């Protein structure tokens, strides 16, 4: 059965069919919904006897996992990545003899001629859910509504700018909104200046050089570029805002890598696009800064920005200490990889 958008959310919370096909061009949304479905079976994800994940399996392998008995009791979950056309045969067999397990098939974009999609949309014992990126025209309203749901108000101009510079794909969009909520902090408001600052590309100025050097662990180059940036008139607060922007963009890419993308693929999805001269540096950053580390770096940078704005501490020294601390962390990560 083909589920329309109005019925999808309720089904994801309480699936009423043991077989589910998730398909569409938005790979992030496919993966997110697959995980949401798996979580509806309490305790299955943390139990290796009740959870199986297959990638591009043969029809026989799928049938074997889907019909296997649970050795410890409780419903099993079978999550299939990269579901492909030959699985239509196995799916037809499972429809004739429905399994006790929840079987989740995750596929890419399937045309209307796909046997797998056609079977899933017509048979009553399986749910077919299409996963498409959000329409660009609706993106400003969706950004505004999702931020409001988290207690953050965004200016109309800021929402429009964000919509023009973000993908409508669910994974990157969710990551970007998480960063914006974090940035809004206690003020719970976002202006056009805030959003364009946090999501924009840092460029190739001395400020950008300092940030690049810090995030790849080059302490000497960080210190030198910072001194030059200050000589050129850069303010510590302005520098930290550019740092926040770069960390936010890296976090989006790191999120894509956590879902299986390569460093090159994740970098290619960054918006605005990475300037070609910086691509090698950005790929190195992605190797040194996983999601958890980026969250910590964002918290450090936000603290530094607030301190430079609200206290009488030497702003340049505080900013320098913050940058060198990040460079030290990146250098340690690089040494650990060697």
Place of tokens 């009488």: 312
Least confident of 7-21, 76-90, 93-107, 130-144: 130-144
Least confident of 11-25, 88-102, 300-314: 300-314
pLDDT of residue 57: 92
Rounded Cα distance, 182 and 7, in Å: 31
Residues of the chain with pLDDT > 70: what percent? 96
pLDDT of residue 205: 62
Residue 163 CB coordination number (10 Å): 20
Task: Note the pLDDT tens digit of each residue in 229-252.
Answer: 888 777 888 889 889 888 988 998
Q: Encoding tokens for residue 243?
A: 């740092």
Task: Note the pLDDT tens digit of each residue in 130-139.
Answer: 998 777 788 9
Q: Among the CATH numbers 3.40.190.10, 3.30.200.20, 1.10.490.20, 3.40.50.300, which is that of 5-130?
A: 3.40.50.300
The residue extents of the domains of the chain are: 5-130, 136-199, 206-337
Q: What average pLDDT does this structure show over 29-50?
A: 90
Q: Encoding tokens for residue 255?
A: 């999120």
pTM: 0.54
pLDDT of residue 269: 79
Rounded Cα distance, 314 and 311, in Å: 9
Burial of 237 (0-12, 13-18, 19+ CB in 10 A): middle
pLDDT of residue 126: 94
Task: Note the pLDDT tens digit of each residue in 180-234.
Answer: 887 787 788 998 888 877 776 544 468 888 999 999 999 999 999 999 888 877 7
The CATH-assigned architecture of domain 136-199 is Orthogonal Bundle (1.10)
pLDDT of residue 311: 65
Closest to 180 measured CA to CA, from 269, 240, 252, 239: 252
Mean pLDDT computed over every residue of the chain: 87
Rounded Cα distance, 190 and 151, in Å: 11
pLDDT of residue 204: 43
- 271 by DSSP, 3-state: which? coil
pLDDT of residue 203: 45
Place of tokens 């810090």: 214
Compute CA distances 21 → 8, 37, 127, 216, whole Å. 12, 11, 6, 41
pLDDT of residue 293: 94
Sign of the dihedral defined by the CA atoms of residues 216, 218, 222, 224, in that order: negative
- For the domain bounded by 206-337, which CATH number is listed? 1.20.272.10
The answer to whether residue 44 scores a pLDDT higher than 60 is yes
Rounded Cα distance, 183 and 185, in Å: 5
Radius of gyration of the chain (CA): 23
Characterize 91-125 residue by residue with b for buried, 16 or more Cβ atoms within 10 angstroms of its Cβ, and e for exposed. Answer: beebbeeebebbbbbbbeebeeebebbebbbebee
Q: Highest mean pLDDT range out of 187-191, 228-232, 263-267, 319-323?
A: 319-323
Name the pairing type of β-strands 126-130 and 51-55.
unpaired
């Amino acid at each position: 059965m083909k589920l329309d958008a109005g019925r999808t959310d309720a089904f994801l919370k309480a699936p009423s069919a043991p077989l589910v096909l998730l398909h569409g061009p938005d790979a992030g949304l496919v993966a997110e919904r697959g995980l949401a479905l798996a979580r509806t079976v309490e305790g299955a994800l943390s139990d290796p006897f009740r959870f199986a994940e297959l990638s591009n399996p043969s029809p026989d392998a799928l049938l074997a996992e889907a019909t296997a008995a649970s050795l410890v009791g409780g419903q099993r979950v079978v999550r299939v990545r990269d579901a492909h056309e030959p699985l239509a045969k196995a799916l037809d067999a499972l429809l004739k003899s429905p399994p006790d397990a929840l079987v989740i098939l995750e596929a890419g974009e399937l045309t209307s001629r796909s046997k797998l999609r056609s079977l899933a949309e017509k048979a009553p014992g399986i749910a077919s859910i299409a996963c498409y990126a959000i329409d660009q025209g609706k993106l400003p309203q969706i950004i505004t509504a999702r931020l409001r749901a988290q207690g953050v108000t965004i200016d109309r101009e800021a929402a429009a700018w964000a919509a023009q510079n973000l993908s409508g794909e669910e994974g990157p969009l969710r990551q970007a909104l998480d960063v914006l909520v974090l940035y809004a902090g206690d003020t719970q408001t976002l202006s056009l200046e805030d959003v364009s600052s946090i999501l924009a590309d840092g460029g190739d100025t001395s400020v950008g050089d300092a940030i690049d050097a810090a995030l790849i662990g080059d302490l000497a180059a960080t210190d030198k570029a910072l001194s030059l940036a200050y000589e050129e008139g850069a303010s510590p607060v302005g520098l930290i805002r550019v740092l926040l922007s770069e960390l936010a963009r890296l976090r989006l890419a790191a999120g894509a890598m956590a879902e299986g993308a390569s460093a090159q693929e994740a970098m290619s999805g960054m918006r605005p696009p990475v300037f070609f001269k910086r691509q090698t540096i950005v790929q190195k950053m992605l190797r040194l800064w996983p999601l958890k580390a980026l969250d910590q770096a964002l918290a450090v940078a936000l603290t530094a920005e607030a301190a430079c704005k609200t206290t009488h501490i030497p702003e340049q020294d505080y900013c320098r200490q913050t940058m060198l601390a990040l460079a030290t962390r990146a250098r340690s990560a690089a040494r650990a990889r060697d």
